[in-house]
Chain A
Amino acid sequence: MRSILTSVVALAVAAPAFASDLVINFDDLNPAPKAAFEAAVEAFKAENPDINVTVNINDREAHKTAIRNFLTADAPDVTSWYPGNRMAPFTDTGLFQGVDDVWDENGLRETFASIEATMTRDGVTYGVPYSYYQWGIYYRKDIFDKLGLEEFETWDDMLAGCAQMKEVGVTPFTIGTKFLWTAAGVFDYINLRTNGYDVHNGLTGGEIAYTDPRIVATFDNWEQLINECGFVDNHASMSWQDALTPFVNGDAGMYVMGNFAVSAMKDAGLSNDQIDYMPFPSINPDVARAEEAPADAFFIPTNATNVENAKKFLAFVARADVQSAWNDTIGQLPPNSEATVSDDKFIQEGFATVSSAAGLAQFYDRDAPAAMASEGMKGFQEFMLDTSKKMEVLERLDGVQAEVY
């Protein structure tokens, strides 16, 4: 009897030794994203006690460098990375594996419909997104109220509103283009509103030239925005955080930004009543409204050793309840359309805006190949500093495009 008991105990103790492993590399050390990730891993462990989970959390920039080595040399079973063109170098060299089965078996094609296109390349779907966030115009509500302005619906509304702001000495837009990508946000929105989602993809995919009349029209609108609305002086020497200063001080009224800027605005002393969000106004009423919503996702490297467990984890991350809890912690939007969002007004409005969009762009520098994005964003900055160089910039970008694709 005793011998049977001991052998049962021994079996129970020994059981974890037969358990399988799962190694996850994650790329955000900031408190909230790290806590959300760790909470999700704990929940996954509780549901799968037989899986021995190991996590490596690295800094975002370090991860960008490290991933280029570890995918070949020492691949984890799951790694975080970005969809769109940013995953292309890894999917094209076969370093990421397709997870179409995860998408089909869990009904992700329906619940993740709006983002499926950017997770797919050459007909294969890679990875599962766990979070994204909206872009749009963040504005000083107190300034708008004092001037009697409403949220802008159309381009003309916005130009008229800008004129009113300038009259009282408020610069309509703040921006900091030192690190270039902020200018790409403005360009993307004007382009999405002027020409729509397909032209955005055509341009970043190398099928539409920069001197194409449609893109020139985008730049014409941008020139109008610079002349009739206007951005703060010295934007080329400011980072996006530096550019908050005039916004917080009330010298500038609007900021085309991602939702992560809200916490920075609040840290700088603005209250929830002083700031608000509006989607970028429409320019061409015939163009279906598409939005910028850069996503973060998990991928399975080809060299992963525990693929079954990795797929289990991806299916777990995709679940509505997991996505709700995760994004509630980090203050972003869950890509799963069945997930619930927190009652923060920016999240509520953002979710309404993004989930009803006709298409979701990942951002110029994630949709275009790196070499194109780098030159393109330099061109945007050059144009913003001197709009008379418009055609010169566009012709140069045509040359880069011809070479890159």
Chain B
Amino acid sequence: MAVIDAPSITTPPQAGWLKRNKLSIAPWIFLAPALAFFTLYVVMPIFESLYLSLFEWNGLYDADGNSTAVYIGLENYAKLWDDPNFRTSLVNNLLWLFLFFLAVPLGLLIALFLNQEMPGMRIYKSLFFFPFVISQVVVGLIFGWFYNPDFGVVGTIWKALFCEETVNFVGNVTFKCSSPPPDILSSPEFATYGIIAAGLWPQIAYCMILYLTGLNNVAADQIEAARLDGAKGWKMLWYVVLPQLRPATFIAVVVTVIGALRSFDMIAIMTQGGPFGSTNVLAYYMYEVAISEYGERYGYGSAVAVVLFAIMLVFISYFLWRMYQDEKGTR
């Protein structure tokens, strides 16, 4: 009898294990696909880059399928230290980082300006948001033409001011200029600023939209109360509105830092790092030494990637820590 009874005793707890742990298992089931891909495409490549950066490798396998990589320890990092291109890239990355921060106050400015009741406001908001919607590649192309000294806006204005139309030796129309039009993208001094200006355009729109949504949540009663107490202008903005926009500011700073550090598309489209490498940033330099036509130095490229990752890690860990603290605070 006991033999027959046994299943009826043990089965309920067995079925119940899933049931009892349903709440803790369910999130993992939903997370599993994302985790799998995150591991495959983000975590593993990070470790592979770390590993590859210790080798000298041109990316080729021999006829039998064995890698031709040679272990050289930290030599790639030693080379980076003396590499003038790497230094230029690092300096340019810092330049991007500092100048990109302009997007935050400028975005706020436009958001405040657009945050008013007026017929057709949605259209204006959409127009201001527009640059963020179009691809970075397109923005880069447009700005590349814009700066072009021959047919761009810059060149056309210059021609109107400083050049006169003449007929050349073979009888075609040409321009004679008292000084040649500025060639922003091929001047080693100004090219990086030119690209950053192009990059700021969509970034300002991004910050603006973050602040616009933030402004929707500003408590009207606090504004009212502040107004009754006589606050207005800068004081109102600084002591009443901005503190309430803190979450929006935080996100705006995060996306701006990350956007500045991973800048790649604009440089690839507008200058390919040129003239002679003066607009390189780490992300593009990594591509240039490892993957581009004249690259084939995968180990060295990985070392650049690791340095970029380390810089990003500083910011990302700070942001994650902040978010963690905030979550703890709200609980």
**Interface residues, chain A, with chain B CB atoms under 8 Å away:** 64, 68, 71-73, 89-90, 93-95, 140, 142-143, 146, 168-170, 178-180, 233-238, 242, 245, 249-251, 301-303, 365, 370-371, 373-375, 378-379, 381-382, 385, 396, 403
What are the residues of chain A within 8 A of B174 when measuring CB–CB? 249-251
What are the residues of chain A within 8 A of B183 when measuring CB–CB? 233-234, 236-237
CB neighbors of A among B182-219 (8 A): 183, 185-186, 188
> B84 CB to closest chain A CB, in angstroms?
7
Q: Among A236, A249, A251, A303, which residue has the most Cβ atoms of chain B within 10 A?
A: A236
Per the bound structure, the CA–CA distance linking A371 and B60 in Å amounts to 15
Indicate if the CB atoms of B295 and A250 lie closer than 8 Å. Answer: no
Q: How many A-B residue pairs have CB under 8 A?
A: 111
A-B contacts, 12 listed (Cβ < 8 Å): A68-B59, A72-B63, A90-B60, A93-B68, A95-B60, A237-B147, A365-B294, A370-B296, A371-B294, A371-B297, A374-B294, A396-B84
Indicate if the CB atoms of B62 and A95 lie closer than 8 Å. Answer: yes
Indicate if the CB atoms of A250 and B171 lie closer than 8 Å. Answer: yes
CB neighbors of A among B59-77 (8 A): 59-63, 65, 68
Indicate if the CB atoms of B59 and A236 lie closer than 8 Å. Answer: no
Q: Which of under 10, 10 to 19, 20 to 34, or 35 or more describes the interface residues of B?
A: 35 or more
Interface string of B278-319 (1 = CB under 8 A from A): 000000000011000111110000000000000000000000
> A233 CB to closest chain B CB, in angstroms?
5
Indicate if the CB atoms of B168 and A170 lie closer than 8 Å. Answer: yes
Q: Does B170 contact A (CB under 8 A)?
A: yes
Indicate if the CB atoms of B186 and A236 lie closer than 8 Å. Answer: yes
> B201 CB to closest chain A CB, in angstroms?
20
Which residue of the partner chain, among A143, A373, A381, contacts B276 with CB atoms under 8 Å?
A381
Nearest A residue to B184, CB-CB: A237
Indicate if the CB atoms of B274 and A169 lie closer than 8 Å. Answer: no
Per the bound structure, the CA–CA distance linking A94 and B149 in Å amounts to 48
Q: Describe A's contact surface by its main secondary structure.
A: helix
Which residue of the partner chain, among B60, B63, B297, contacts A68 with CB atoms under 8 Å?
B60
Which residue of the partner chain, among B62, B63, B170, B276, contacts A382 with CB atoms under 8 Å?
B276
User: What 7 pairs across the A-B complex have the smallest Cβ distances?
Assistant: A236-B186, A250-B170, A374-B294, A378-B276, A382-B276, A302-B63, A237-B186
> B147 CB to closest chain A CB, in angstroms?
8
Per the bound structure, the CA–CA distance linking A180 and B277 in Å amounts to 11
Interface string of B133-156 (1 = CB under 8 A from A): 000000000000001111000000
Indicate if the CB atoms of B169 and A95 lie closer than 8 Å. Answer: no
Nearest B residue to A396, CB-CB: B84
What are the residues of chain B within 8 A of A385 when measuring CB–CB? 186, 188, 275-276
> B91 CB to closest chain A CB, in angstroms?
17
Q: Does B180 contact A (CB under 8 A)?
A: yes
What are the residues of chain B within 8 A of A90 when measuring CB–CB? 60
What are the residues of chain A within 8 A of B249 when measuring CB–CB? none
Nearest B residue to A64, CB-CB: B293
Indicate if the CB atoms of B180 and A382 lie closer than 8 Å. Answer: no
Which residue of the partner chain, among A140, A146, A301, A378, contacts B277 with CB atoms under 8 Å?
A378
Per the bound structure, the CA–CA distance linking A64 and B294 in Å amounts to 11
Per the bound structure, the CA–CA distance linking A179 and B176 in Å amounts to 27
Known: A93-B68, A233-B180, A237-B185. A370 touches B275 (CB 8 A): no
What are the residues of chain A within 8 A of B168 when measuring CB–CB? 169-170, 249-251
What are the residues of chain A within 8 A of B58 when measuring CB–CB? 89
Q: Does B115 contact A (CB under 8 A)?
A: no
Q: Does B244 contact A (CB under 8 A)?
A: no
Q: Does B21 contact A (CB under 8 A)?
A: no
Indicate if the CB atoms of B276 and A379 lie closer than 8 Å. Answer: yes
Indicate if the CB atoms of B274 and A236 lie closer than 8 Å. Answer: yes
Nearest A residue to B275, CB-CB: A236
Q: Among B61, B147, B297, which residue has the most Cβ atoms of chain A within 10 A?
A: B61
Indicate if the CB atoms of A378 and B170 lie closer than 8 Å. Answer: no
What are the residues of chain A within 8 A of B148 when measuring CB–CB? 237
Indicate if the CB atoms of B84 and A245 lie closer than 8 Å. Answer: no
What are the residues of chain A within 8 A of B59 when measuring CB–CB? 68
What are the residues of chain B within 8 A of A179 when measuring CB–CB? 272
Per the bound structure, the CA–CA distance linking A140 and B150 in Å amounts to 21
